[in-house]
Chains A and B, each alone.
Chain A
Amino acid sequence: MSVEVKAELVGSVWKITSKPGDQVAEEDVLLILESMKMEIAVTAPRAGTVKEIRVKETDVVKEGQVLVVLE
């Protein structure tokens, strides 16, 4: 079953720290958003494999936008 990891708030994609195929544990950092000059880590809600990264660095994202899909 796949899990969509969404942006908690509006911001831009500062750094992508995972790639498709990566095995991740719960709480592992997938990418880092920047909002209000803060680095906001987006972490895996549970263990799995990164299936898809739907954004690229510098993209502006909205609250609720899907960033990463885990499997």
Chain B
Amino acid sequence: MGDDYPARISDLKGRRTKNLAMGGEEKIKKQHDRGKLTVRERLDLLFDKESFVELGLLAHQQPVRGGESDPDGTPADGVVTGHGLVDGRQVWVIAYDFTVMAGSMGAVGEQFKAARVRELALRYRKPIVWLLDSAGARIQEAAGSTFAGTGFLFADQVVMSGVIPQVAAMLGPCSAGTAYIPGLSDFVPMVKETSSMSLGGARLVKAATGEDVTDHDMGGSQVHCYESGVGDNEVAGDRECIETVRRFLSYLPSSNTEAAPFVESADPADRAVEGLEKIVPVSPRAAYDVRRVIKAVFDQDSWFEIKPTWAKNIVIGLARAAGHAVGVVANQPMQKGGILDSDAADKAARFIRMCDAFNVPLVYLVDVPGFLVGSQVEKEGIIRHGAKMLYATAEATVPKVTIIMRKAYGAGYYVMCGKGYEPDVLVAWPLAEISVMGPEGAVNIIFNKQIEASSDPEATRAQMIEAIRAQINPYLAAGWAMIDDVIDPAETRRVIVRGIEQASDKRIDRPWRKHGNIPV
């Protein structure tokens, strides 16, 4: 073959074809046999048709410190990077290829390819998605004191936090070098069975502590989506995982400088919400599933719950109210009576801060008996954890609408955006009870002496309880104009939509500071 244009072009095509073939047929078959898709199949699902633009296709492993390298056996150096469109909006991606050296992070893939994506996504203020399926750092390239020159990716993630949305989709192993990627991301879906994450993989754990455990047992979705709270949503497979990523992004702006996306909705803003009286019992002691209220109030099929299987006593998620994206924070009486505890406060606080960072208005659906009290929760540091939720709600300057459905007790009322926390609209249903504590508890403290002195203590106690109960209905607060209105539950949707629209030009200026000191 002569040295002319066609020959050079043909050579280029050959190089491209070779690297597009990933780790080869045998490795691809193994990937499929594990129930996983290949990195390029995943990208086809993530991005709108033919919108993916790849950077660094021709990259491959380089010799590090004079060591061996395998340029032919390391297409794209095990990580596919670039950008594409998700519902027509630009999104950047770093997608590990498990068929090439187990998706391990090499010097080229990390220091040049992934770093370039982080730089450009931030430069253009576009979301970044990691598709994680990686054995972690490529130890043969990372061992030695040149480790001193690494670690930029996490620092970059911190700089990007609250500027552009960051999603870590867990599609395979993710340990050591990569596990802090999900730890710093805004949304972390995990594929059941095939994905795992841990600070140290099984082999490292064995060497470090002697513990015998598998990656899955240590860090699968059954741990992180149910016990640790590091994972957000457990999903059945790669397809569902990537669909979940697309759905999540649909509620968020591309960056903190944009408004949350609005989509035309067929569900009328003024729709009366039917049937709430069949969902929420009048007895403040009785439980129900608050997700039924959420589904009835917000746009049809718009509810996207986050962390549904962890700290279930609080429900958080994204939804739409007549087309406006909103973040919903709702107490869940069906789980632990909706009582707030450390994990619930932690879960809500992080979600509230994400919504605030990305200009997503917040809707609080309040039915809270308060924070759990007692020796167990004090040992857990509930004051510190509860303070996170106080902090997050007070700090948030997005439009905030508070609906007191039933109970609003104590600090539970504060963290659910009570009067002191700058709600733009604060209303109560006629069932509402607003008080520092329930009548029974209050009577025991306030009237203890009178009850003891009474000839019929139980009758006196019951009388006092009724006297206090009469004062905790919402009309005392409405009479003082401390709440904006008492509404028919059927008006809830209209009040939320109008509240968000009322506050669309909301601007709150805080005193200058470097940053606050949130209790962590």
Contact = CB atoms under 8 A, between A and B. Distances in A.
Interface string B314-340: 000000000000000000010011110
B341 A9 contact: yes
Interface string B417-450: 0000000000000000000001011000000000
Interface residues of A, number: 13
A17 interface: no
Interface in A22-71: 34-41, 62-63
A36 B369 contact: yes
A38 B338 contact: yes
A9 B313 CA distance: 11
A24 to B, nearest CB: 18
Contacts of B441: 37
Contacts, number: 43
A47 B275 CA distance: 31
B285 A37 contact: yes
Contacts of A36: 337, 339, 369-370, 372-373, 438
B369 A40 contact: no
Interface residues of B, number: 19
B208 interface: no
A5 interface: no
Contacts of A63: 376
A9 B333 CA distance: 14
Contacts of B339: 9, 35-36, 38
B287 A37 contact: no
B418 to A, nearest CB: 18
Given A36-B337, A36-B438, 7 more contacts: A9-B339, A35-B336, A35-B337, A35-B372, A38-B337, A40-B287, A63-B376
17 contacts: A9-B341, A9-B372, A10-B372, A35-B336, A35-B339, A36-B337, A36-B370, A36-B373, A36-B438, A37-B285, A37-B438, A38-B287, A38-B339, A38-B369, A39-B337, A40-B287, A41-B287
Interface of A: 8-10, 34-41, 62-63
9 smallest beta-carbon distances between A and B, as pairs = A38-B337, A36-B369, A37-B438, A40-B337, A39-B285, A36-B339, A38-B369, A10-B374, A9-B336
